[in-house]
Structure 1
Amino acid sequence: MKIVVVLLGMLAVLLVSTRVQAAPGSQAEFDALMDEFGVLTSYRAVASAEPLGILGFDVSLEGTSGTYEGSDVVLPKIKFQKGLIAGLDVAGYYSSFTVPGDNANTTAYGVALTYAIWDGSTIAPAWNVRGSYTSTDVSGIVKTTTTGIDTSMSKGLGPITPYVGIGMFTLNGTDATATYTGYSASKTRYYYGVSFDLLALNLTLEGDNTDGVNSYSAKIGFRIGD
């Protein structure tokens, strides 16, 4: 049910308000907020493992649900993926929203480079490995970054392609006012999803678990592969 809510919310509005307190009261609260915010904005594939090929591309709207300060939130994103040579794909996302109450302008972006170890065939699954980086800025005061690596496998079944993956990332949070000590953590993520293709239209649904915390993503857009 949550993943349906993510998709409907993403289609209804691209930029949404997210309940975030940018000024925690203690070091422990700062660490907890950086942890939740970093997990929410960390890079998610929301795509099967097959490479797009040099002529392929994907332009989409994406939303990721999560929990922040006890509230359910949705992070909206514009996402782009382009196939390159030798089984390489490059991708990135951009997000911008306002933190209610504090009127804090928040921007986030992520980039990723994927290499297809196996392209996949009628009998064999596709297998890839990906490196990623994200950065989030809350009014120039609070910043988080993540650096990660993951691997996934998928197998096409006509217009439907299920996939599974596992990865890890490091998370860092900093406070420009020097009120709080910087936060750092390492995370492990398991994820699963399914991609639906109808001509050039693509819908992908993904669920993940990051150190026991569940979140859901949905992406819809245009996807063309070789």
Structure 2
Amino acid sequence: MLIPRTLRRTGACLALTAWLASPLAVANDFELQSGAAASDVRQMSEDLAAATSYKALGPAEAFGLIGTGVGAFAGYMATDDEDAWQRASGNRVGDITTAGLRARKGLPLGIDVSAFYADVLNTDGSLFGGALQYAIWEGGVATPGIALRLGYSQLTGVDDFDYDTWSVDATISKGFAMLTPYAGVGYVTGELDPSDSSIDAERVDNGRFFAGLRLSLGLIDITPEIEQNGDNFVTNLRLGITL
């Protein structure tokens, strides 16, 4: 069972790398103080939208009917305003770091579906979600591929509020031997719904820009990615196997 063993090792390495990359590396459970100011709750929602929304982590080309990809990923983002987190949650959250597993399957007509699960490290939260991608232009030897993607993610394990995001993106990419650079633009909507009725729900809508590079080494692929989401800068990394 070489592939599952490889994935477990890859996931463990990515999780360790993400944990070590966090400057706090201490528990910062996601909480919400009664009477928290709307501006501080909104800042929390802005940060969460950037950190927890579905990430591209791959080029636009469709996998095709028999294509399958599985891998591990990690993401890191410094929060935009630690003081706002301190006032709203009682915890001075300086970063949000995630690590998890994701899978992608090709379907007919240039459609791919994907799903993921991740832990939000050093917190009580976890994430799950998925995406539907459609290659509107398959691309070829001299032309790039173009795809549209609808993504969803939900934060779980948090008692004080519910949080989820929807995203829509357009990606363009062009392969050159082992390298496939890609870039895209999109839009993310995040909504924070507090369990405390004295605090209003917050919805944020952010534009985002991202770029990455997939390096294919046989069945193994490595994909670093950077993203500007609203005022937040996010770095992501995927290590996977594509069949």
Contact 1:18–1:73 (8 Å) recurs in 2 = no
2:106 is aligned with 1:83: yes
2:50 is aligned with 1:27: no
90-99 or 55-64, which moves further after superposition? 90-99
Contact 2:15–2:99 (8 Å) recurs in 1 = no
TM-superposed deviation, 1:38: 2.1
TM-superposed deviation, 1:118: 1.2
Contact 1:90–1:111 (8 Å) recurs in 2 = yes
Assess, with a 3 A threshold, how the Cα gap between structure 1 residues 138 and 178 changes in structure 2: closer, same or farther.
farther
Relative to the length of structure 1, the TM-score reads 0.86
Assess, with a 3 A threshold, how the Cα gap between structure 1 residues 22 and 91 changes in structure 2: closer, same or farther.
same
Assess, with a 3 A threshold, how the Cα gap between structure 1 residues 18 and 193 changes in structure 2: closer, same or farther.
farther
Q: How many residues align?
A: 214
2:128 is aligned with 1:109: yes
Identical-pair percentage: 21
Measured against aligned partners, the alpha-carbon deviations of 1:107-146 in whole angstroms (never above 9, x if no partner) come to 2112100000111111110110001111112434311111
Contact 2:169–2:187 (8 Å) recurs in 1 = yes
Relative to the length of structure 2, the TM-score reads 0.81
TM-superposed deviation, 1:20: 4.5
Measured against aligned partners, the alpha-carbon deviations of 1:50-101 in whole angstroms (never above 9, x if no partner) come to 111111111111111112336233211211111111100001111134655x
Contact 1:21–1:99 (8 Å) recurs in 2 = no
d(CA) in 2 for partners of 1:110, 1:118? 25
Please tell me the residue identity of whatever aligns with 2:96. Answer: V
Instruction: Look up the match of 1:3.
Output: none
Instruction: Look up the match of 1:4.
Output: none
d(CA) in 1 for partners of 2:185, 2:121? 31
Contact 1:18–1:75 (8 Å) recurs in 2 = no
- Choose which of 181, 184, 194 in structure 1 pairs with 2:213: 194
Assess, with a 3 A threshold, how the Cα gap between structure 1 residues 97 and 211 changes in structure 2: closer, same or farther.
closer
Instruction: Look up the match of 1:63.
Output: 74
2:54 is aligned with 1:43: yes
CA RMSD, 1 decimal: 2.3
d(CA) in 2 for partners of 1:193, 1:18? 30
Return 5+ residue gaps in structure 1 as ranges: 1-6
d(CA) in 1 for partners of 2:16, 2:218? 23
Contact 1:175–1:181 (8 Å) recurs in 2 = yes
Instruction: Look up the match of 1:153.
Output: 172
| SS of match in other structure, 2:109 | coil
TM-superposed deviation, 1:213: 1.8
TM-superposed deviation, 1:10: 1.6
Instruction: Look up the match of 1:10.
Output: 14
